[in-house]
Amino acid sequence: MTRILLVDDQKLVRSGFALILSVEPDLEVVGEASDGAEAVRLTRQLRPDIVLMDVQMPVMDGIEATRSIVADDLAKVVILTTFDRDDYVYAGLSAGASGFLLKNADAEHLVEAVRAVADGHALLAPEVTRRVIARMTTGVETVHPGASPAGSPVGRGRRPGDRLESLTPRELEVLGLVGRGLSNAEIAARLFVGEATVKTHLSNVFSKLHLRDRVQAVVLAYEAGLILPGEPADQPPG
């Protein structure tokens, strides 16, 4: 059962999402919040698995609330907005969100999105991921000049490539393919192995590099030079 907290300053929006999600046998809406501060408090209290977070709210906005929730490892956050804007996506991922979803998504997409994030997948179309991650890794709009963007997996004072030394050649290959936006099934087909094998490699990558999810894996792939901005998604590694 995946536990969900809904955060939006419009009650009608929360009610609509609750109605869609509550009918699913594997999903449970455990609470609702109308602003970011309440979201942080309820996340600590209710310990949901997923927080669906609006961006523009009173008291505390969704980006700041996301940063607080992720910093304390309380839940995974999916940013919700009515606008398909790079600055919102960038800010949300920099704060540590696991994905981004437009409020006008249909019911089926919403349910699939929640399940995908619960399973550890990044919730962004590959072309959006690449556009925004490329922007993140150039240091644009970084809060602290000279530091990696907030939520970046690269440690201060350490070169990104240094962290990859612990990976086997196959794990490095899998990381590169994740960075290109490929799913587990697509990686399995590319490498001629089973999906279970891909999952094992990916689990090892996450563990060795202390990564939270695929979003951080993509960021690291860019920062370490495995992926170049603008490189075609289907281009083989190397």
Long-range CB contacts for residues 88-92, cutoff 8 Å, separation at least 24: 88/55, 89/124, 89/128, 89/132, 90/132, 90/135, 90/136, 90/141, 91/63, 92/55, 92/62, 92/63, 92/66
Give residue 238's pLDDT band: very low, low, confident or very high (50, 70, 90): very low
Q: What 3-state class would DSSP assign to 31?
A: strand
The percent of residues in the chain predicted with pLDDT above 90, rounded, is 44
Q: Domain check: are 110 and 205 in the same one?
A: no
Q: Point out the least confidently predicted range of 100-109, 146-155, 228-237.
A: 146-155
> Domain range for residue 95?
2-123
pLDDT digits over 24-64, tens only? 999 999 999 999 999 999 999 999 999 999 998 989 999 99
Kindly state whether residue 137 falls inside one of the protein's structural domains.
Answer: no
For residues 12 and 90, membership in a common domain is answered with: yes
Q: Does residue 160 share a domain with residue 113? A: no
Say what the pLDDT of residue 125 is: 55
User: Does any domain span residue 229?
Assistant: no
Quick check: pTM over 0.75?
A: no
Residues 30 and 102 in one domain: yes
Find all residues with CB under 8 Å of 184, minimum gap 6, and list them: 195, 198, 199, 202
60 with 112, same domain: the answer is yes
Give tens-digit pLDDT for 180-225.
778 888 899 999 999 999 999 999 999 999 887 777 787 788 778 7
Beta bridge partners of 76: 50
**Same domain assignment for residues 12 and 97:** yes
User: Which has more confidence, 45 or 89?
Assistant: 45
Residues 16, 114, single domain; the answer is yes
- Gap between the terminal Cα atoms of the chain: 40
Res 139 pLDDT > 80: no
Number of separate domains in the chain:
2
Is residue 231 in some structural domain?
no
pLDDT in tens, 15-30: 999 999 999 999 999 9
Name the 3-class secondary structure at 33.
strand
Return phi, psi of residue 16, to 5°: -65, -45
Q: Are 237 and 176 in contact (CB under 8 A)?
A: yes
Query: 107 with 192, same domain?
Result: no
Q: What is the CATH number of the domain that holds 103?
A: 3.40.50.2300
Nearest to 30 by CA among 16, 43, 12: 43
